[in-house]
Structure 1
């Protein structure tokens, strides 16, 4: 049976992070994940995880100065010191709560210098993460939601992963973003599974619950299971309704 992880950046985000963890457990999720948990003490998150028996599968590095338009730092030339501080912070938090993955956000950048900057920062991140047994994830974002985001396609991510050459650097395969940018989800996932570290999903094109839109997630989930994937799949979708009212897809 396919298992699911609740992304608490979107689901139950009207509650404190510890209470959202408890809500995910009550709803039947097998794991949780989040975006930027840093305003909540790690001790409180760890206590909620211990209480529920859930694992926090991953978290993101800080975006930077959001008011100034930042959406990650790791590929932005000239901001290496900030990027590495964000990596250190995320790794320390992951270690404190037992999270196995950290998503390093590339940010808005482009060109050869940004590529070199991203590769160098990822080499730093993977070396530091290896000391505590954590995997670094990189995620292509679609250019409708995140125009000018450095990492935009799975092939670009694959090239970078191979160039960095670290066994603990993997692809975050977000079905929502990659359907918009590239499509052909199942064949693409079959091809990229060896370098994939986590899988997320949402309906396309509205990023809602996976029970409508242009992707038949029943088929996609079945194929993922056939491929031998056992880690919970990340439900990272938005809704205009309270989260508990959107979960009918889990029963189906």
Structure 2
């Protein structure tokens, strides 16, 4: 089993290029991030080339975070902002060789929001296909993100079917899915054809995956049995120093 370090949470005190180096030194097989846009793409690309790691994914911008935005793509009336964020993310991902872009839906509800999200996902998929990039959508739990448009895997599956693009996939974050729906094993088995990336953290505290209500040794063995081929995203919040939180890697990498 191989792991990807989510640098949105791990080594946050370091610059993004330095965090990539730290992830390599810690034994991660890949990296991923949230919003890399304050760092010139050429600097990130140089760090990736130096380490031999791939940046597996990044997110579209959230919008005006001071006003509470957490994504734009499902918000009626903000299509131009949403598409600018999509274009920016795909261009950045293309420059650094990142295969996945997570399009963040934002806080919205109702039929108009759904139609807006579908239209923006069509746009994102068509644009991303030109660079061989996959678009991801991720359900977020309503404890951490109350009011977020996308909250369940069934909702995500329905949207993927309606968009009908082969480069639209589900980001299956075990932390969010467990909090909202549970039954991780059966959901992973059922949804595997739709899954583009998998992330994990302890539940319910979103810390290192060596405690809590999810037995990740069992989950990782299941993923091996399902022949899931990609590094799993360690998207957890260390309670202290990141490097001191990595004891789980040696325990779980042979699951």
Q: What residue is the counterpart of 1:128 in the other structure?
A: 127
Q: Does 1:65 align with 2:64?
A: yes
Runs of at least 5 residues in structure 2 that lack an aligned partner in the other structure: none
Number of residue pairs the alignment of both structures matches: 251
Give the Cα–Cα distance (whole angstroms) in 1 for the partners of residues 47 and 89 of structure 2.
19
Q: What residue is the counterpart of 2:150 in the other structure?
A: 151
Give the Cα–Cα distance (whole angstroms) in 1 for the partners of residues 225 and 25 of structure 2.
28
The 3-state SS of whatever aligns with 1:102 is: strand
TM-score after normalising by structure 2: 0.98
Q: Does 1:42 align with 2:41?
A: yes
Give the Cα–Cα distance (whole angstroms) in 2 for the partners of residues 168 and 205 of structure 1.
31
Within a 5 Å distance, the mapping from 1:93-242 to structure 2 comes to: 93-242=92-241
Runs of at least 5 residues in structure 1 that lack an aligned partner in the other structure: none
Give the Cα–Cα distance (whole angstroms) in 1 for the partners of residues 153 and 190 of structure 2.
11
Q: What residue is the counterpart of 2:77 in the other structure?
A: 78
Pairwise CA distance, 1:169: 0.1
Pairwise CA distance, 1:140: 0.1
Pairwise CA distance, 1:239: 1.5
The 3-state SS of whatever aligns with 1:177 is: helix
Pairwise CA distance, 1:170: 0.1
The 3-state SS of whatever aligns with 1:199 is: strand
Give the Cα–Cα distance (whole angstroms) in 1 for the partners of residues 224 and 234 of structure 2.
16
Deviating above 3 A after TM superposition, structure 1's stretches of 4 or more consecutive aligned residues are: none
The 3-state SS of whatever aligns with 1:146 is: coil
Root-mean-square deviation over aligned CA pairs: 0.3
Pairwise CA distance, 1:230: 1.2
Give the Cα–Cα distance (whole angstroms) in 1 for the partners of residues 213 and 162 of structure 2.
34
